[in-house]
Structure 1
Amino acid sequence: MNKISYIRWFNEIGIDDVPLVGGKNASLGEMYQNLTAEGVRVPNGFAVTAEAYCSVLEYNNAWQSLHAALDGLDPDNIRDLQARGEKARAIVYGCQLPDDLQVEILQGYAQLKREYGETISLAVRSSATAEDSPEASFAGQNDTYLNIASDDALLDGYKRCLASNFTDRSIHYKYDNHFDYYKVYISVVVMKMVRSDIGASGVMFSLDTETGFKDVVFINAAHGLGENVVQGTIDPDSFYAHKPSFVMGYRAVLKRRLGSKEKKMIFTNTLNTGNIAVEYTKNIDTSSEERSHYCITDSDVMVLTDYAIKVENHYSNKAGSYKPMDMEWAKDGLDGQLYMVQARPETVSSQKKGNILEIYHLKERSVVLLRGRAVGTKIGAGKARIINDVKHLKDFQPGEVLVADTTTPDWEPVMKIAAAIVTSRGGRTCHAAIVSRELGIPAIVGTENTNEVIKNGQAITISCAEGETGTVYDGLLGFEIQQTDLSQLGHPKTKIMMNLGNPDQAFSFASLPLDGIGLARMEFIINPTPRESPRFSHGEESGKLVLT
């Protein structure tokens, strides 16, 4: 009988291999095989298969122990979830790796050293067999370990990735999306580490995440490793690039927004005494110079736009239908090159059914408490519940507004019962933003001083219906929802062009049967927040158009 091989190299796997290597590995293999020839850079690596995960548990007789730990779990009981999840992780992490599996993993590492040099470090990333599907992304549910540079650290990181199949957040996510806890297996990515710790990294989407507008690439970027962007612990730089203009050969950056980027994540080699380090990274403050400039250039934005279009086109052609993509990228500080490190189907706009346009309107206004980045276009209201630590999640009540510095995947059980979310930190592709879109609830991120302004139990209204800037109002304000069935609207023979005062709303109205949208008011083009309308002044400057 032939011996089972537990690893598959990226050039051996593709998107059809999700049951064997998980979504992340399958996508990396798909890009490595099909897009590197088109100029899309993907670091090489290999998958440790889901068969290896099952083999580890069988070798240690761990299945029965896992059933004892998890059978009868009520995932909505936070205390029960935390206690049982801890037991399940300890069971898996305590497993011994079979000798043949250890040998294969370390042989793969040696081969990567021959390709990239002895000083190569590794990214060791979880890749679940149910992740990155159009129905459920599994984003952030399992663990990643970076800057792995020794045999012992690689094997330890591998076991920690396996154990992360039973993080509290992952267990609850499986429950919410109707996956069997025991039938979602973990494959592990072992790949060349892109040194973005001394470069930059971020996420990008091949459409506008808020409106579903298809003709743009939306990019978020920050100094250092990408976890800060994903988790929303910093306010990143953001860019919009226009895809049709790019295809025609133009440098099509539509919009840039400078983020504060107050932190950057870098590597640390500090070890715990007598043990292998769990934390391989740390956050440090960025310099005033780093905060005052964009962390990537317009040329970088054009390269990323090229990558995004090629990835989207490849997946769309393979599926035979339009497939917007959610991607992660990294810029290596050593070679200066941009790399794709993940691509998965976008799971919100692409899953919308029907063609109903919903427009939310506030019927009244009150004192503005905070402003930040709007996520979605809805309005929500309720009593504020300030949560500063995961220990206090059990205090959250359905229908309250979750107010926090930032969120992580561990918070998702309460996020799904919130009326809205407000965070002090993060951009429009942070964890709070991604989850709120999946849940269909409004969120405002990056308000900076949330806990100083909002009081626990205070009634507030969150409006994301006024463009890219979201507003937190004092009190419970009335609002209405206007619904329009676009499928019933005919397209007239006469070309209809819309004049729009607020450019932030252009993408959301693009789904209407129009032939184009233009900006009617010069002051909105020059200054998004004018204090007064343009006027003709008198006296010496009579006849000149002056903005005041």
Structure 2
Amino acid sequence: PVQKMIQSLLSGIIFTCDPVTGEKNKIVVDVIYGLGDLIVQGEVTPDHYLIDKSDFAIIRKIPSVQKVQLAKVNDRTIKTEVPRSKQNKPKITDKEAVKLAKMAQKLHQHYFFPQDIEFCLDKKRKIFIVQTRPVTTLKESKENSWEIKQMEKVENEIEEKKEILSGQPASPGIGWGPVVLINSKKEIRKVKTGDILVTSMTTPDFVPAMKKVSAIVTDKGGLTSHAAIVSRELGVPCIVGTINATKILKNDFVITVDGTHGKIYKGGLKTKTKIIDPIFSSETEKVSGNIKIATKLYVNLADHSLADSTAGKNVDGVGLLRAEFMMAEIGEHPKKVIKEKRQKEYIDKLAERMGIFCRAFGNRPVVYRASDFKTNEYQSLKDGDLYEPQESNPMLGFRGAYRYIVDEKVFSLELEAIKKVRNKMGLKNLWLMIPFVRTPGELLQVKKIVTSEGLIRSNSFKLWMMVEIPSNVILLEEFLKVGIDGVSIGSNDLTMLIMGTDRDNNEVASVFDERNPAVLWALEKTIKIC
């Protein structure tokens, strides 16, 4: 039989396993407007659905804005603008996504192997399967011998190159490509896939650009700076604290970044643009089975694209879910949202992102750390400079618990999102943690706000506090009397404040040491009291 050519209203791809993690209990559905070429080429970001095979529940749904499509106009297939009324809307309904997943599962069962399926919908929204083939990217072995050989080959190639700059190695791996200099958040649209992002220092609103690049280089910062922490989580090679990279490196100048050793070389490589050092990326994969230990192992998370793969590892939950990354993705200052009376929209977006983590981890706890943006970081959000004061030292300024007391309406947005996840989505594994609490009195005031919003401590809802200020350690017993269920040690800020060392200042980076006896005393005291 010959299938007729379909005039596609929508097109997409289905995988009957997760092509990234290899998990065979998941189905992935991606869909765009128009013909499917643009999704295959990666030119358009599709709406993304992750569906559980066991009950066909939608685990994750990530809509995207699509401005162009490939469509037939008269007798030609050309790129056309998606009508503005449709650009921000979901392309298919949840019911259609589940229907596609069920069709895909039948194909999987028929061929006895995970399938890579292409489909389209016509103007009547009738579904057509236009191709199915085995998924070819699944790895049966987790030994990264190929990656090791690639790394060795690249390191040999680097030996012949000229070193032009160095800094602190912040995230391991090697990446190469053309330099793109970014001076502010307004310029991040210039960043393209495969570029080397060079900037003075990153802020949370840089994250979408950081996901695209082959490597990141900054003038400022240490191993606990935003650029370093995020790069490690995203698996992007990174060097921080070069001092003058933005002055030495020029736009479109091709360089190679060795994030493992903190060195930058002139020119590119003959291999792919990014290699994550297998010594760092797969060490934990060498252990087979689940090792039972007496201590519960919680992870820090921020990027929702890592939720499912991380939940599949031998961990007991999320000990710190960063609010700042989710709020940066939303992109607007909360006060702007409140002023324009769009609170529900903001709460829905925040709750949707929280829900991704909670679903992935099932019954295991997900501890959401409430927002701890500093004023300079809030300023980087859309219209943020209209609502934030100028501070000489934001690290010690208007942040943490004190903000919740002064800006209760902003904190309420987060609490409403938590309630929606727990009460409407039915995900009772979401807990709350309060950061940067200076005094027991502050903790008491914040606790009253949380309680007034209907979030009461119980067996299924725990309230934690960050221990990251010397007063938290010295007065810990007084903080505990206020009534909390646990603490999380924020060693970065705690070390900074005990040692009197700005952790974002590369001039004193060598002084910053979590192993200093004063810091170790604070850790020991906290553990013994709790």
TM-score (norm 1): 0.39
Q: With CA pairs under 8 Å and 6+ residues apart, which has the higher RCO, 1 or 2?
A: 1
TM-score (norm 2): 0.40
